[in-house]
């Protein structure tokens, strides 16, 4: 791993974090960066001691020629930066959401396959040891047959569901897929205020987040989506919830003999309750399930930043091992595309007022299509 070279497209805070984590976990050498901002390029040069920092990713790929590139721009650049890297024979670790449309995701997967490079998406919960333990517990029959999964969005943000679906939604979707991967359909309902959302409610995400976080067109203050995954029913709900914190974010996994509650954006808190039903009338006890070797490896609890760095490093290590062993990363391009499809499928279901089956036939952004149809109908 000591000879691994990495570069960054998007030299903001996330790019710096990824570069530092790669140095720590892979003993990698940072050989370059790319950003349209001259100020960002200068900061990256000072931080990592490389002069190979360019305004163009093509120039970066040609001159620095890294083994792995971290694509940490906002979503509208993920597709072209990844495809260009693949054409140069460079492996890619891309931030979420994977892209802004399924068509872009298709092109990214195809380009990486055709050029024999690996593509990983930063759905960081895939690295959580708690998720891995829960999967083993489920396979052992600890809570019986799993029949339902409920996912809750991240609190503490005064953002409507419109942007949360793209900012955090693919995380939630991918998280459910760890335990119920064969998602076959979605039925969803999107609201604004006390009414159903319509095409006139579609807005650019930058109206909410600012120009530095472009997630494409978005719609809705609240979204309620139900997914079918074989015998498992999954729900993902989004709403503005400014007063809550990270503890509101997580999964409830319900089986015939009990249930688990996974909490926090890093999936590092687990609780278990035995019994097929729960009611506030009774004094049911939730029991924390701990992993001391993960939670206190140095004899003290890890800080949130230390946990994130550790999980990020594990994601990078998995990509490096996938390259070495010629296998797919655990959070690969196909998984990233499936997570985005769950979000876009919810919008498409609301537009059609009907269940939408996967894989979706419509590969362009469903809100672009809805807005165009509305304009043509006028």
C-alpha to C-alpha distance for 127 and 132, rounded to whole angstroms:
8
User: Which value, in Å, is the radius of gyration of the alpha carbons in the chain?
Assistant: 21
65: left (phi over 0), alpha (psi -120 to 50) or beta: left
Q: What is the pLDDT of residues 16-40, one digit of tens each?
A: 999 999 999 999 999 999 999 999 9
Q: How confident is the model at residue 283, as a pLDDT?
A: 59
The proportion of the chain whose per-residue pLDDT surpasses 90, expressed as a percent, equals 74
Q: How confident is the model at residue 29, as a pLDDT?
A: 97
- Domains of the chain (ranges plus CATH)? 5-124+309-330 (3.40.50.720), 126-305 (3.30.360.10)
Do you find a cis peptide bond into 270, omega within 30 degrees of 0? Answer: no
pLDDT at 158 over 70: no
Number of H helices, E strands in the chain: 13, 18
The structure's pTM equals: 0.94
pLDDT at 211 over 80: no
Q: How confident is the model at residue 255, as a pLDDT?
A: 95
Residue corresponding to tokens 């914190």: 245
The arithmetic mean of pLDDT across residues 104-110, rounded, is 98
The arithmetic mean of pLDDT across residues 186-212, rounded, is 90
Q: What is the pLDDT of residues 50-103, one digit of tens each?
A: 999 999 999 999 999 999 999 999 899 999 999 999 999 999 999 999 999 999
DSSP percent split of the chain into helix, strand, coil, nearest 5: 45, 20, 35
């Amino acid at each position: 791993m000591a000879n691994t070279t990495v570069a960054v497209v998007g030299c903001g805070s996330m790019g710096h974090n990824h570069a530092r984590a790669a140095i720590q976990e892979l003993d990698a050498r940072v050989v370059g960066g790319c950003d349209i901002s001259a100020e960002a390029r200068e900061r990256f040069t000072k931080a990592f001691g490389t002069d190979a920092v360019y305004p163009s990713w093509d120039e970066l790929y040609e001159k620095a020629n890294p083994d792995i590139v971290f694509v940490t721009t906002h979503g509208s650049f993920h597709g072209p930066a990844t495809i260009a890297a693949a054409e140069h024979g460079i492996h890619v670790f891309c931030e979420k959401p994977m892209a802004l449309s399924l068509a872009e995701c298709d092109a990214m997967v195809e380009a990486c396959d055709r050029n024999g490079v690996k593509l990983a998406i930063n759905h960081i919960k895939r690295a959580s040891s708690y998720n891995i333990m829960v999967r083993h517990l489920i396979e052992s029959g600890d809570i019986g047959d799993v029949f339902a999964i409920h996912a809750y969005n991240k609190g503490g943000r005064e953002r409507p569901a419109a942007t949360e679906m793209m900012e955090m939604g693919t995380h939630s979707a991918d998280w459910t897929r760890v335990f119920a991967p064969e998602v076959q359909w979605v039925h969803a309902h999107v609201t604004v205020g006390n009414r159903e959302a319509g095409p006139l409610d579609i807005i650019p995400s930058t109206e909410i987040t600012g120009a530095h976080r472009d997630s494409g067109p978005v719609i809705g203050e609240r979204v309620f989506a139900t997914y079918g995954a074989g015998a498992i029913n999954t729900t993902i709900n989004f709403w503005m919830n400014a007063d809550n914190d990270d503890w509101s974010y997580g999964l409830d996994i319900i089986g015939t003999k009990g249930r688990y509650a996974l909490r926090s954006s890093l999936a590092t808190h687990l609780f278990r309750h035995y019994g097929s039903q729960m009611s506030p009338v009774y004094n049911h006890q939730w029991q924390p399930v701990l992993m001391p070797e993960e939670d206190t490896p140095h004899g003290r609890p890890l800080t949130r930043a230390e946990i994130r760095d550790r999980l990020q490093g594990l994601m990078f290590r998995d990509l490096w091992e996938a390259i070495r062993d010629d296998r797919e990363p655990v959070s690969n391009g196909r998984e990233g595309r499936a997570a985005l499809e769950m979000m876009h499928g919810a919008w498409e279901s609301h537009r059609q007022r009907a269940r939408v089956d996967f894989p979706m036939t419509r590969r362009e952004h469903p809100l672009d299509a809805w807005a165009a149809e509305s304009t043509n109908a006028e």
